[in-house]
Amino acid sequence: MVKDQDYLEKKASYCLDLAKKLGATDTRVNVGNSISETVNFRNKKLDESNRSDNLGIDITTYIGKKKSSISSSNLLNDNINILIEKCIETTKNTPEDEFNSLPDKNLLAKEVKDLDLYDDTHIENDNKIEYLKRLEVSVSADKKIVNTESSFVEDKSNFILASSDGFCKGFKTSSFIVSSVAVAKDNNSMERDYDYTLKCHLKDIKDAEELGKKAAEQTIRKLSPKKIGTEKIPLIFDKRIAKGILSIFASTISSSAISRGTSFLKDKINEKIFSDKISVFDKPDILKGLGSKSFDLEGVKIDTLKLVENGVLKHYLVDTYNGNKLNLKSNGRCGGTSNLYFDNGKISYKDLINSNSRSLYITETIGHGSNIVTGDYSVGATGFLIENGEFKYPINEFTIAGNFKDMFQNITLADDLEFEYSTNSPTMMIEGMVVAGK
């Protein structure tokens, strides 16, 4: 069982009192405990089973506009005493920064909403093993599958965030993660793909047979890929890849990038950056949402933001420090987004696939080719050629390139949004990008 709130609160309170006594003008403490149990299989055989119990504390002390932080996994009071003494001493010797401060008290969360993020169900290792055996049988059913790996992870966490301005709150979360990785081989190639399921509640994860079958299908269909030449062709991004485009967008509107001047979206509030059919939401109060929360890493209340409305950028993701730099109030995004998603488009998946006589369906991108300063985007990719709405054959070893300033304006979204991750997108088509092949 993870440590209860009372234990974590007492540790946090002890830190706050001692830091004040030693001269801190403000202090923030995060105390957390997580327990993780993992079972791994390889080629239908048990590979390993392990359990970890992590208890940790992060302490940040302020003396006026000076600030420093320290962390440890040892929560004995004798060690905490040494930690805080060192943190205070470091803070004294740190240069002042006029933007250092705790959040405005009126921005702090007053309550923790019950978002159904914790399932106290415990699945014994024997049951994890039984699930993975069925999964491995399913993924290995086709002889083309020559190698498999699968894992089942159960994680339970609890934390308390406390600060010298009176904030003291936390909540429990749980997650159940099962993944299946397959390698397929034929006379022409060897390919790899995967599928996985991640949920807050055990009863919501996919069936073992369903998960294994999907992982195998996605791997086998990539066999015997062909090449493509260099051309401009509409690209259709699978939802797994489309959400990555949205994650990059989130990094371009983080207040840290904006305050440093390292984003091409600096000074673009209330300007049209997408086509008028695109809206982007960050919604923290989705029940069982993988990114759901009541407050951010500073204790600031987090509400739903419509980041983009009909193509127009409405908000940056603002924390206290960078907000002070930009003369903006924190909107609860210290640590990033919650449940971030593109709103559904107006076209069905089938109609999107049929919207061009010839297009490329992207199932994987390779490398980190995003430059948020210039907006340039270039990554390796694999996928499928689509002709007249039909998936013809797999394509590999090509590069896709463009600039987000143009890409954002040329996005068309299907109406197939699902909340499978903390960042989600419908199937996405972008026209006007360049494909560089053989």
Asked if 188 and 234 sit in the same domain, the reply is no
**SS3 category, 242:** helix
Q: 257-288: buried (b, 16+ CB within 10 Å) or exposed (e) per residue?
A: bbbeeebbbbebeeeebbeeebbbbbbbebee
- Residues 24, 164: contact at Cβ < 8 Å? yes
List the chain pLDDT tens, one digit each, 438 residues.
899 999 999 999 999 999 999 999 999 999 999 999 999 999 999 999 999 999 999 999 999 999 999 999 999 999 999 999 999 999 999 999 999 999 999 999 999 999 999 999 999 999 999 999 999 999 999 999 999 999 999 999 999 999 999 999 999 999 999 999 999 999 999 999 999 999 999 999 999 999 999 999 999 999 999 999 999 999 999 999 999 999 999 999 999 999 999 999 999 999 999 999 999 999 999 999 999 999 999 999 999 999 999 999 999 999 999 999 999 999 999 999 999 999 999 999 999 999 999 999 999 999 888 999 999 999 999 999 999 999 999 999 999 999 999 999 999 999 999 999 999 999 999 998 989 987
Identify the burial level of 419 via C-beta atoms within 10 angstroms of its C-beta, where 0-12 means exposed, 13-18 middle and 19 or more buried.
middle
Measured CA distances, 94 to 63, 261, 325 (Å): 10, 25, 19
Pick the last residue of a domain from 220, 247, 268.
Answer: 220
- Residues 162, 29: contact at Cβ < 8 Å? yes
What's the CA gap between 276 and 165, in Å, rounded?
43
Asked if 178 and 305 sit in the same domain, the reply is no
Asked if 341 and 301 sit in the same domain, the reply is yes
Asked if 328 and 416 sit in the same domain, the reply is yes
Please measure the distance between the N-terminal and C-terminal CA atoms of the chain and give it in whole angstroms: 56
C-alpha closest to that of 337 among 229, 201, 246 = 246
Asked if 78 and 216 sit in the same domain, the reply is yes
Asked if 309 and 269 sit in the same domain, the reply is yes
| Residue 12's CATH number | 3.30.2290.10
Structural domain total, the chain: 2
The residue segments making up the domain with residue 180 are: 5-220
Asked if 265 and 351 sit in the same domain, the reply is yes
Asked if 62 and 153 sit in the same domain, the reply is yes
pTM above 0.85, yes or no: yes
Asked if 249 and 199 sit in the same domain, the reply is no
Asked if 42 and 148 sit in the same domain, the reply is yes
Pick the last residue of a domain from 203, 220, 237.
Answer: 220
Asked if 134 and 38 sit in the same domain, the reply is yes
Asked if 216 and 239 sit in the same domain, the reply is no
Pick the last residue of a domain from 175, 196, 220.
Answer: 220
